[in-house]
Amino acid sequence: MTPSVEQRRVVERVQRLTRERLAPRAADYDLAGQNPVESWRDLWAEGYLAAAIPRAHGGLGLDMPTYVAVIRTIAQGCANTAMTLHMHSTVMRFIDVLGTEAQKRRYFPEVVRFGKLFGSWGSEPAVSLSRTFLMETAIRRDGDDWVIEGVKHFCTMALGASYYMVWCALDGEADMGKALLQALVPAETAGIATDAKWNTLGMRATFSPSVTFKGVRIGGDATLGRPGSAMQVGVVESFGLGYAAIYVGVAEAALAFAIDYARQRVVRPDNIAVAQDPTVQRHIGELTAQLHAARLVLEEAAASWADADMVERALLANRAKYLATEAGLSVTSKVIQVVGGRGVYKDYPAERALRDVRTATLMPPTVDRMLEAIGKSALGIQEGMFRFGSGPQGA
């Protein structure tokens, strides 16, 4: 599908923004392990925090192909900024699909007018989201309000976002098909505590420490949809598609660096560029082909998204994320080999790309889970991206 003039302009604007503003800060945010606050402000100023908000509510209302292109482009300059924007944008999709009109009028202006960010917190210490979608964080009614109790791990944008979409189990119920509920919690709400520990291999500027909820009280109108509906509207699958765009974008930037380096690096005694080495040419050829394939599948998935149902979206996202994972890991690793010893210096972007992809590809579903789901689809066995489970629940 050929992009429209408007779609191209949206992507061209973010290319310029990434090149001039976001990418130059990436190394500093990585070193500090801090939220990319200045980059978020730039995204807001250019309208990209509202990428997934409908135009009727003042947002860009991007279709999926344009959205994926935007996320991929940002990831070429800063994987952390791309990841946090994607997490925030997926919350916007949930509000759009599950929220009431009053909720949309309440939350969307917070983003459009004031540049507020929303985090999505699902991971828990005792639960593997790649195996079974299960929540131990409990939410219960208390009069007109809701009260949340539990612990969340990998809380992206903690101390940076203004709202947290917390994935909970209603009254600690084990059947997520009936009990899963998303609560929108203002960051300043009493009872939220974090150890603020986040010293990781990569994706350091997503700042995702553990957070404890103890007697956290929110309004009765601060949950989205009915219990269980979050997994039935074809939005959760977009997490995987956006992750794929990030992996491809990071790998593209790493490969572009390696190509430029090989062209400019001259070695003695032959005084020829590294690019003239047949071994280097074969490496670059292999990586280029891998990335091209992953990008084509990603773009096909994005183009098919709007007309796909929930089961089809799961397959599209699984295929795109699997191929992007394999290509991203291969490319960022071999780029270091092509560049040689200089590739491990933090003065160059290859080392950060390797760390960011290695950490980012841990996002669920895992490779094994994706391949299982893809295989089931090929065998005519229908299943969503995640499977529900049951077991002891509680805070």
pLDDT at 131: 55
More confident residue, 274 or 134: 274
Indicate the pLDDT class of residue 2, thresholds 50, 70 and 90. confident
> How far apart (Å, rounded) are the C-alpha atoms in residues 289 and 286?
5
Q: Which residue type is seen at 4?
A: S
pLDDT at 130: 57
User: What three-state secondary structure class fits 98?
Assistant: helix
Write down the pLDDT at residue 391. 38
pLDDT of residue 69: 98
Answer whether residue 19 shows pLDDT above 50: yes
- Predicted confidence band at 387 (pLDDT cuts at 50, 70, 90)? low
Tokens matching residue 375: 């295989």
CATH topology of domain 5-117: Butyryl-Coa Dehydrogenase, subunit A; domain 1 (1.10.540)
Q: Which two tokens stand for residue 2?
A: 């050929």
- What pTM, to 2 d.p., does this model score? 0.95
CA dist., res. 96 & res. 53, Å (int): 7
Q: What percent of the residues of the chain are helix, what percent strand, and what percent coil, each to the nearest 5?
A: 55, 15, 30
pLDDT tens digits, 279-320: 999 999 999 999 999 999 999 999 999 999 999 999 999 999
Structure tokens at 209: 């420490």
pLDDT for the residue 3: 85
Q: Which CATH architecture has domain 237-378?
A: Up-down Bundle (1.20)
Architecture of domain 120-228: Beta Barrel (2.40)
State residue 178's pLDDT score: 86
Query: In the predicted model, what is the mean pLDDT of residues 113-118?
Result: 98
Q: Is residue 394 predicted with pLDDT exceeding 80?
A: no
Say what the pLDDT of residue 212 is.
Answer: 98
Mean predicted confidence (pLDDT) in 66-83? 98
pLDDT above 80: residue 55: yes
Three-state SS at 83: helix
Instruction: Give the domain ranges of the chain.
Output: 5-117, 120-228, 237-378
Residue 386: φ, ψ to 5°: -125, 150
pLDDT of residue 269: 86
Share of the chain above pLDDT 70, in %: 96
Q: What is the pLDDT of residue 393?
A: 30
